[in-house]
Structure 1
Amino acid sequence: METKDVLASGLTYEDEIRYMNLSPFEVTNILRKIAQDGCERLKAQGKDCRVLNAGRGNPNFLNIIGRKAFAKLMLFATELAANGQDLGWRPERRDIARKFKAYLAADRSKETFFLKEAIDYAEEEIGLDVDEFVFELVDAALGDFYPDPPRIYPNTGEIVRTYLDDILIADDKSKDKFDIFATEGATEAMVYSFKSLRRNHLLKADDRIATVTPIFAPYLEIPSLNDYDLVNIEIKQSEALEWQIPSEELKKLEDERIKVLYLVNPTNPTSVAISSNTIEKIAKLVRDQRQDLIILTDTVYATFVDNFYSLIDAIPENTLCIYSYSKYFGVTGWRLGVIMLNKDNVIDRLISELPNDVKEELNERYGIITPEPEKIKFIDRLEMDSRDVALAHTGGLSGPQQAIMCIFSLFNLIDKERVYKSLVTETLERRIKNLYASFPEDYSYLKGSNKTHYYALINIAILAKERYNEEFANYLTENFLALDFLIKLASEKAILCLPGAGFSGPEWTLRVSLANLDDQDYLIIGQAIIEVLDEYYDYYQGNE
């Protein structure tokens, strides 16, 4: 068996081969242990050391006003329920908005000013009954009842829909066109979507799906699980085209055996929004040739780019859209996601066209909910399936989660000048500049309003060529595994990055999260990458 060289200490080529078969997030656990051991060695030598984990996308920035507003809401809700006692009672709807405004009247804090604006916005701009809205918020914050209806609270649903329209839809044409299901983050939304598509016989074993790659690694792994056994057809973005999709790759969608197009947009790990031209090409292909194609898109990074254009806007009837608040508002621990589906959609039509024996099977499944199960929309089947139908009445996102989701939605709707967004994007811009500061001028990061800069996908082979020459770059890729570079980076520099190949990216790429470390840490990471690359060059020179 042909082997390759190993510069990473303490491992063999066979070890590296085994690790390459793991999910990149499992590789992180191995790299973390290697980095920790490396730090201990350095400390034993009297040197300072700390592990820099640039592998995880959990942001270290977070929205403060929304959290303070939720805390203020919770204090009002509990004081209203307690009425001076330890045993509380569910508040009454009547006159609750006036009571809340009175509670806020003497407070001059930013969060109180925001809450007053939020109540006015909900009443005047969205047209909600103010007492119904405030009562729903208070009751949700208390978490004293199951969510009702389970899919999403009515007033919260209107506000979340308005927020999604604002960030995903170009104009007001979408008003009342979309149904919403609040979920425990985008990942749970994706799991629910696959599960219900399978349960409703729209995806079966050996069916084909098309996945735009590179993509968030677990999304590559779900279709291949025994639960689904799907055949994955990759639609490969091109690094040479700044991670856009070449026309010849889009032609793969003409294959009528492909049931679902599956993508993250803006992308992870490449941090690029798919161009409006490509979105239009996909929409035209679907309208002209693939009217039955289901599009499943995760838009978690949409809020980081300007003038975002989504498939849910271009071809709403075919698109099942997932969104998460986690990254933009720094709420990964809260688990706040939604599924957005056009009321007139291809999934409902495909279910209605299923063979009679399959319809009878589905009617039996959902028949415990209603005497007319065939009329249940897919958006409601998603919620029912999330609790295996029998427990659908206890489904839905918890009240406190929906309350803070509502607050964050209102925060962004009121922030017309996008002050918060500017703070976030300026932070990410500083970090990517620091990361690339040690790199050659000819190897720079991608720029433009369609770049999120949430991650950087660094191509070590190209970096090697720009810093030295093409001969060395070829030697590096021919004689080493890319994972050897990552392990050496962890062992000697205590820095963790993820392998780009695990996202179905180019083999010699590594993903750096720009979200979860301090600004100055990225200067250290960029310099460390160069220092490790120099060690490979020294090895190359010694073996010429």
Structure 2
Amino acid sequence: MNAQGPGQVKLENHLRQHLSLDDRRKMERSFEAISPFEFKNELIRLASEKSKQGAATLLNAGRGNPNWIAATPREMFFMLGNFALEESKRVWSAGHLAGKPSKQGIAERMHIFLNNHETDETSKWLRSFVEYGNSRGFPPDDWVFELVDGIIGDNYPEPDRMLTYTEKVVHDFLIREICQNQFPSSNFELFAVEGATAAMCYLFNTLLENHLLNRGDKIAIAVPIFPPYVEIPELHKYNFHVINLYASGIDNRGEHTWQYPKEELDKLKDPSVKALFLVNPSNPPSVAMSPQCIDEIAQIIHQHNRELIIISDDVYATFVDEYCSLLAKLPRNTIGVYSLSKYFGVTGWRLGVIAIHPDHVLNDKLGDLPDQIQEELANRYRSLTQHPEKLSVMERLVADSREVALNHTAGLSTPQQIQMAMFTWFALTEDGQRYKQQTRDICRHRMALLYEGLGLPQPNLAYCADYYTEFDLEVWAKHHYGDAFFEFLAAHYEPVDILFRLAEQSAIVLLNGGGFAGPKWSIRVSLANLNDEAYSDIGKYLHQALESYVAAWRGQESPNGLPSS
């Protein structure tokens, strides 16, 4: 085995089963220590080798990138682009050169443009989008000019946090789809960012730079969770003392509910726990926190830990019926993170937003910092304002995203923001609601096909998004064959054995649930990124792999999966 870059181990051409039992388990344990997204690269290589033999089609269900897109908002975007170019050329046209669009009278010119294209269905959608802004009281020329100048992208994003009217449209979406129309006392402030990935990086950095969290502080993470939320706090820069809140709830059949028992949530009563990080609905269980859990957290905050900071990543919210974020229940404590990537099929656009209420506990905490730290922070932000001590946490977040000195170039690119406004507005329409139901139906149908292929009843989980499923081999083994069978598995195999087995024998790539801080023997299947029929095949081949363990236990095969002599 040769090292292949940081944290990676690569198998040579011989297959895993040619190794001795001890060597094989040692090799497998080396993969358990790295990120599942790095581990998947080795599984893809093995699955590709199997696929090249012509015996199987590579099926990579290890990524959450959906295989659908929202088409209508994209059509609107491209039509708006054509109008914007006409506007630029109207101002100045010299060969390949055009001018900057002009605001005066632009709303009327847009009206004429749409009338000239009224036979095009897209023009009706674009007209409705513009009229939505008018109905919200946006000055017509200002509103249309923001769209046109934004899509042309000829200016730095201004304001630096988010375009004025675009922010209001996206806010409408968040209130309806993420907060179930529960309005706080005033609007959230939004910061358009390069997806949830950038949001996480910016938030961790600003919390640390402003001493709202300090190196070594105690934080809680609701697990299982997207691995970066586990990996970032362990970096030397942060070195947080991490307390895991396990979604260890089980039903009366011993099956996972992926909810948080009271004894887990009670860990938040400790006021030395400064922050809670969660993905809700969760990744990979794909289950939203129940209203009972949310109420319990609210009670704990009000009675025991009033300054707790919550960062809630709600990327899968639209896949759950009647979803309501902690952002709505606890706006004073929660920072909301939302990415458009999964719902609208825009992972390549990098569209995300951070939401913070103006009356946030963090703004109070800034004012309570010791004088020495206040002076340090005043020096950090002095180039921005004559009164740096008055900067809110959101203003600091924006500035920190560009290392303060480049604050004037902060903000997500303006064409991306215009596309974001179109996606979120579309979601508010009747057709957008039908689109939402389509995306849910796709995931639920694939879940049914997967478990039909497995020969197992489909989980019937409350508050489930069905975007992923997390299958726990330990629960399956004990439920169907008893403790003795699982003891045999644990004695002869590593938890990732089944992933190698599926990649080598069936060209299927799944991820290890342990890499998400989930149950050690669980595996994650993405239900979003492959065609429907693939999930029947994955279920069938997963069933065969499980049966091979049963056969080995019964003495029909040796533990490495080869026929016994």
TM class by shorter chain equals over 0.9
For residues 259 and 166 of structure 1, what CA distance do their matches in structure 2 show? 29
Structure 1 letter corresponding to 2:473: I
CA contact (8 A) 1:8 1:484 kept: no
Correspondence for 2:429 among 407, 414, 417: 414
Q: Answer yes or no: is 1:532 the counterpart of 2:539.
A: no
Q: Secondary structure at the match of 1:139?
A: helix
Partner of residue 127, structure 2:
116
Range 198-207 or range 168-177, more displaced: 168-177
Structure 1 letter corresponding to 2:521: W
Partner of residue 32, structure 1:
44
Structure 1 letter corresponding to 2:89: A
How do 1:230-309 and structure 2 match up within 5 A?
Answer: 230-241=240-251, 242-309=257-324
Shift of 1:496: 0.4
Q: Answer yes or no: is 1:327 the counterpart of 2:342.
A: yes
Q: Secondary structure at the match of 1:173?
A: coil
Correspondence for 2:208 among 190, 198, 202: 198
Shift of 1:295: 0.6
CA contact (8 A) 1:9 1:488 kept: no
- The TM-score normalised by the length of structure 2 is 0.91
How do 1:330-345 and structure 2 match up within 5 A?
Answer: 330-345=345-360
For residues 110 and 359 of structure 1, what CA distance do their matches in structure 2 show? 56
Correspondence for 1:50 among 53, 57, 80: 57
CA contact (8 A) 1:56 1:513 kept: yes
CA contact (8 A) 2:280 2:288 kept: yes
- The TM-score normalised by the length of structure 1 is 0.94
Structure 2 letter corresponding to 1:516: N
Correspondence for 2:460 among 443, 446, 455: 446
Structure 2 unaligned spans of 5+: 1-14, 252-256, 560-565
Correspondence for 2:76 among 69, 75, 78: 69
Partner of residue 490, structure 1:
503
For residues 504 and 288 of structure 1, what CA distance do their matches in structure 2 show? 29
Partner of residue 374, structure 1:
389
Partner of residue 14, structure 1:
26
Shift of 1:288: 1.6
Shift of 1:129: 1.2
CA contact (8 A) 2:249 2:261 kept: no
Partner of residue 134, structure 1:
144
For residues 500 and 244 of structure 1, what CA distance do their matches in structure 2 show? 16
Structure 1 unaligned spans of 5+: 1-6
Structure 2 letter corresponding to 1:444: Q
For residues 294 and 393 of structure 1, what CA distance do their matches in structure 2 show? 28
Q: Deviations over 1:279-323 (max 9, x none)?
A: 111011111211111111101111111211211111110111111
Structure 2 letter corresponding to 1:384: A
Q: Deviations over 1:125-171 (max 9, x none)?
A: x2211211110011111111000111101111111111111112233
CA contact (8 A) 1:477 1:508 kept: no
For residues 385 and 79 of structure 1, what CA distance do their matches in structure 2 show? 37
RMSD between superposed Cα atoms in Å: 1.7
**Number of residue-to-residue matches in the alignment:** 531
Shift of 1:412: 1.0
Structure 2 letter corresponding to 1:136: E
Q: Deviations over 1:163-185 (max 9, x none)?
A: 11111223353374311100000
Correspondence for 2:515 among 502, 505, 508: 502
CA contact (8 A) 1:321 1:340 kept: yes
Q: Secondary structure at the match of 1:434?
A: helix
Range 65-74 or range 459-468, more displaced: 459-468
Range 61-70 or range 465-474, more displaced: 465-474
Shift of 1:469: 4.8
For residues 531 and 110 of structure 1, what CA distance do their matches in structure 2 show? 49
Q: Secondary structure at the match of 1:286?
A: helix
Partner of residue 385, structure 1:
400
Partner of residue 12, structure 2:
none
Q: Secondary structure at the match of 1:321?
A: strand
Range 107-116 or range 298-307, more displaced: 107-116
For residues 316 and 485 of structure 1, what CA distance do their matches in structure 2 show? 43
